[in-house]
Structure 1
Amino acid sequence: MTLGISQVTIYVEDQQRAVDFWTGKMGFTITTDLPYGEDRWIEVEPPAGGTRLVISKAGPKWPGPAKDLPNYVLFQADDIVKAHRELAARGVEFSQEPKQEPWGWSAVFKDDEGHLFHLGQH
């Protein structure tokens, strides 16, 4: 049996603002954008392919963005210094610049919804 991860959901207040961030600043591609009840089912894929992000409208039962700690989605770069420079030039805000950790390189960035994410390099 082969298992993999196809999607990870991010709950947002404003789906269009999130789409603009992930496509415009992060360089992801929209793979699915369909009506979903009163909202939309939106999937975006990173430039290198792989696991898609589902940008889902947050509701009362879903938590808002964690303001103090990065969430559980970790992005990987083959050259974190170059990725940081390019993403920052596109307007991505970093709360932690790339730094060497015992396990590899790490940086933390914030999306336009306030979610924090790790960017790593092994």
Structure 2
Amino acid sequence: MISKLGEVMVYVRDQDEAIRFWRDDMEFVILQDYRDGEMRWVQIAPTADAETTVILHDRAFVEKNSPDINFGTPSLLFFTPDLDALYEKLQAKGVTLGEKVQMGESKFFNFADREDNYFAIMETE
């Protein structure tokens, strides 16, 4: 039986640029930067004790060694207790943002990383 989602893998063209985006703009923490020869993967998360983490994989390396993998970017939804404050903060950093949307009781917006992968953030209590 599955008990939780542990990691989400995102395949990026430039790991160093992806790290800068997630660390500097999104303020994620780098939990591990693993290297073994040509292989490198970087584990990031919103906090050091997050239950689910994101792994940034070098897309070119994985394409070469595991060409059957689906390289589509997963549709990730992050949560924040203060959507408006986060929106303003990301806007000031120059992050590409979608419009804030209200659907029923939920408020959310999407944002793009530096490789134009879009993700979403929703306000939660």
TM-score band, normalised by shorter chain: 0.7 to 0.9
Q: Pairwise CA RMSD of aligned residues? A: 2.1
Gap regions ≥5 residues in structure 1: 66-70
Moved runs in structure 1, 4+ residues, more than 6 A?
Answer: none
TM-score of the aligned structures, taking structure 1 as reference length: 0.83
Q: Which residue of 2 aligns with 1:5?
A: 5
Q: After superposition, what is the alpha-carbon deviation per residue over 1:70-121, rounded to whole angstroms, capped at 9, x for unaligned?
A: x421011111111111111122110x22121135112010001110001111
Contact 1:58-1:64 at 8 Å conserved across structures: no
Gap regions ≥5 residues in structure 2: none
Larger helix percent: 2
Identity across the alignment (%): 29
1:58-73 mapped onto 2 (5 Å cutoff): 58-59=59-60, 60=63, 61=67, 62-63=70-71, 71-73=74-76
Amino acid at match of 1:120: M
1:1-122 mapped onto 2 (5 Å cutoff): 3-47=3-47, 49-50=49-50, 51-59=52-60, 60=63, 61=67, 62-63=70-71, 71-94=74-97, 96-102=98-104, 104-122=106-124
> Of the two, which has the highest radius of gyration?
2
**How many angstroms does 1:48 deviate by?**
7.3
Secondary structure in 1 matching 2:108: strand
